[in-house]
Structure formats: structure tokens, C-alpha cells
Amino acid sequence: MKKTIILTALLGALVLVSYGQSVTLYNTNIVDVENGKIIPGMTVSVKDGIITKIAKAKKKIKRNQTDYTGAYLMPGLIDSHTHWGNFTMTPEYMRDMAESYIADGVTTVRDAGGDVRIVKRYEAKLDSGNIVEPSVYTSSFWAGPKYYGGRARQDTRGYETVNAPWSQEITDSTSLEHLEKIIIEAKVYGCTGLKLYNDISYDMLKKIVPLCHKHGVKPWGHFAIFPATAMDVVKAGVETVSHTYLIDGKEGFTSEFKAKCFSQAEIERRDSIFREMARLGTILDATIKICMTNNMEFAARYTNEAYRAGVKIAAGTDWVYMEGDRMKSAFLDELDLLADSCGMSIPDVLRAATTVGAEIIGQAGRLGVIRKGAEADLLVLKSNPLESLKALRQRIALYLDGKEVK
């Protein structure tokens, strides 16, 4: 098969190497993240970015197959909380961010609110073959008037109206018809979810969530949306809630509350919310690394409470940081913290980073798993990640849509 180099345009940029349309990964150990086990000695065929066949490896490798004997193959990782299209971002910043994510093995991100025009502009470059980046699933960002407070709207600057498909101010009196109209607008614009952020009431959430379901848009929100409390957000059916630390609402930020947050009464109050989440299947996007960096260690203990109550937990970072003068993804650090500080088992941390992330963005079975018909976003690792998360830091290869990224 003819070997083609798709891009080398940017010096020092990631290079996507394609060996024609298909690639076959010979004799690898598949990491079955769903069942937390290894399926040894398998050959995985990929065509046009999709896994087309998985079979027991033959005794001898064929020509054109890539030998991964002894290596471990796992699905690409999913960051369930990023801000990809931030209005402050320059193209250089976007490229740095993309490269730092790819370096961590992240092949998909959920953008939890930003200027989707920037994401689209960047994707256009991607189509031109100059840039490699994770797949981005975008949100339309919604908040009430108290949040906007008359400030100039940065994320819609330059657009024909103050509100835009990716950013909407709503009030308690926004009509059902208008809500439906702007949900459809968000969907048509390419947003896969709504980020329900601030100053939205329980009554409004109860109107918004069914409309999301009707139109196939994912309802995502902050854990507390003020005035809607954490329990309101869960009961309204918001599918994914972000930031464990918000469970206490505004009171949680006071020193009086901090002194009693691990009292029996408060533990039980949180537990009633976590149990409701476990019952409804609400996913907790915990965002631990950013809390630990801001002296909010209690968030890790809260997340452990959620975990023990049976809540499904996702891996979201909500940030990238600077290492020297380069952007650095916090994703692998987030996974380490979910294990070490939140007490999650390694198989559950791997699920948080794959299958749970896929469920959040409505791509269960297509992303975050290695199976026939799934997208070929793949990591080839030297050692078994089910034994140690350190394995994620020792990568042999990464495939994005079936193409190797060098």
C-alpha cells in the first residue's frame, strides 16, 4: 500500500501519517475498559478511521501489518471538561493546547462553553491538513441576567446579535417557544450540548431538559446553577454536573460552613444527593486537579463520598496550565488524583476517561471503546494501564481516526 505523508507543513507541529486508507495492528493486548480486563493476542483492523475487525492474532505477521506484540491497546482518552474555544485564544495557543492534549493521549474533548466560532475556525484549518487536534464536542452556554450583569459579552463579540447560537442569556420569563427555538439553533450550529451555567431556576431547568431530550441535545450543567441547587439540578434531569465542590451551594464558600462540612448532618445531606444521582444515572464531572491547586482538598473527599454512593464519575480538567512557556494538559494528573485522592479503582478511573466521557457526549459505543464499528482513536502502551496509570505516560503510538500521529 502506498505510504503518504499527509502533512508536514508546520515545523515542529504534530504530523499525521497515513498508510493509505487502512491499518492493521498485529498481536496486541486489548484493554477492555468496560469489563476491566485484558484480551490478549488480538489483531485489530482499521479502515477509514473505523475499527472493522478484531480477531485472534495469527501465528505470523503479514506484510503491511504493524507489530504490537506485547503492547497494550486502549481507546483514546476523553477530557469531559475543557474550554476549547475561549475568546482569548490565539491560533498559537490553540495549537499548543491541541498538542499538549495529544501528548497526554486525549483524542476527544467536551468544550464546556466558549466561543464556538474559534473552534470552527480551528477545525477549518484541520481540514486543510495543517493541524492535528482532538475531536471537540461543543456546548451552547446559557445563563441568566444576574450572571451577565450588563457586562459586555465577550464570547459573542462581533456577531450580529448579543445572543448567539453558542451563548444565550435567558430569564425566568423566556417562553417555551423561544427556549425550543434556541435549542434548535444551538444544534444546527453544531453544539452537542447545553452548558447550563448560572442564574437559572429549577422551574426553567424543568422546561429546558425535556426540550434537550426532544431535540437530541445533551443537558450539561454546573452542579449548582444558583438559584437552582445541586438537588434541583439533579432532579431536573441534567445529565452531567460539573465541579463536586459546588454541591454545597453558596453557603459552601463561607467559613462557618467549611468548619462543619464533614459533620454527620452534612455528609448525610450530600449522600441524599449522590444517591439520587446514582438512581438517575447523573454523571459527576468532578474536576479535582483544579480544586487541589486552589486549596480545595475537600472536593476530593466529597468525590470519594459520591464514588462510594455509586455515582458515575467522569474525568474533566476545566483547564490547562503553563509549563515553562508551553501549555500543558492537566488530564493525566486528573486521572492520578481520581485514583490517589478520591479512592477510585484504576479500572473505574480508566472508565471515567473513556466510556463515561463517551456517554456524556452521546457517543457511547463509538468512542472510548475498542470494538467493531468504533472510531479508531487508539493508544498503544508499553505496559498494562489496568495495573498502573503510569502506563498512560509510556506510549508507543497514538492513532487519531485511524491515522498515526507522530
Q: Which helix (H) or strand (E) holds 301?
A: helix 298-308
Q: Which is nearer to Zn ion, 318 or 377 (CB)?
A: 318
Location of C-alpha cell 468548619 = 259
- Specify the length of the chain in residues: 406
Residue 19 near residue 1 (C-beta atoms within 8 A): yes
Least separation in angstroms between CB 71 and Zn ion: 35
109 and 101 in contact (C-beta within 8 Å)?
Answer: yes
**Residues contacting residue 187 through CB under 8 Å, at least 6 positions apart:** 215, 216, 217
Residue nearest to Zn ion (CB): 318
Instruction: Give least dist CB 232 to Zn ion, A.
Output: 20
Contacts of 275 (CB under 8 A, 6+ apart): 309, 310
Name the minimum Å distance from CB 242 to Zn ion: 6
CA-wise closest residue to 297 among 261, 347, 249, 335 = 261
C-alpha cell at 23: 491499518
Whole-number Å distance between alpha carbons of 112 and 219: 11
Between 112 and 208, CB nearer to Zn ion: 112
Least distance in angstroms from the C-beta of 105 to Zn ion: 21
User: Is the Cβ of residue 112 or residue 361 nearer to Zn ion in the bound state?
Assistant: 112
Q: Which is nearer to Zn ion, 239 or 318 (CB)?
A: 318
Quick one: 318 or 401, whose CB is closer to Zn ion?
Answer: 318
Cβ-based nearer residue to Zn ion, 239 or 375: 239
Beta carbon of residue 224, minimum distance to Zn ion (angstroms, whole number): 14
Q: Which residues contact 202 (CB under 8 A, 6 or more apart)?
A: 227, 228, 229, 232, 235, 236
Give the residue with the Cβ less far from Zn ion, 76 or 316: 316
Distances (CA, A) of 219 to 114, 282, 294: 16, 11, 28
Lookup: cell for 194 = 447545553
- Cell numbers linked to 402: 485511524
Q: Which residues contact 322 (CB under 8 A, 6 or more apart)?
A: 328
Residues 329 and 104: their CA atoms lie apart, in Å, by 7
For 45-87, the DSSP string reads EEETTEEEEEEEPPSSPPTTEEE-TT-EEEEPEEEEEE-TT-T
Closest to Zn ion by CB, 43 or 287: 287
Smallest gap from residue 330 Cβ to Zn ion (A): 12
Q: Which is nearer to Zn ion, 99 or 318 (CB)?
A: 318
Q: How far is the CB of 195 from Zn ion (least distance, A)?
A: 8
Site of interaction with Zn ion (CB under 5 A): 112, 318
Report, in Å, the least distance between residue 205 CB and Zn ion.
18
Q: How far is the CB of 52 from Zn ion (least distance, A)?
A: 37
Cell of 317: 480538567
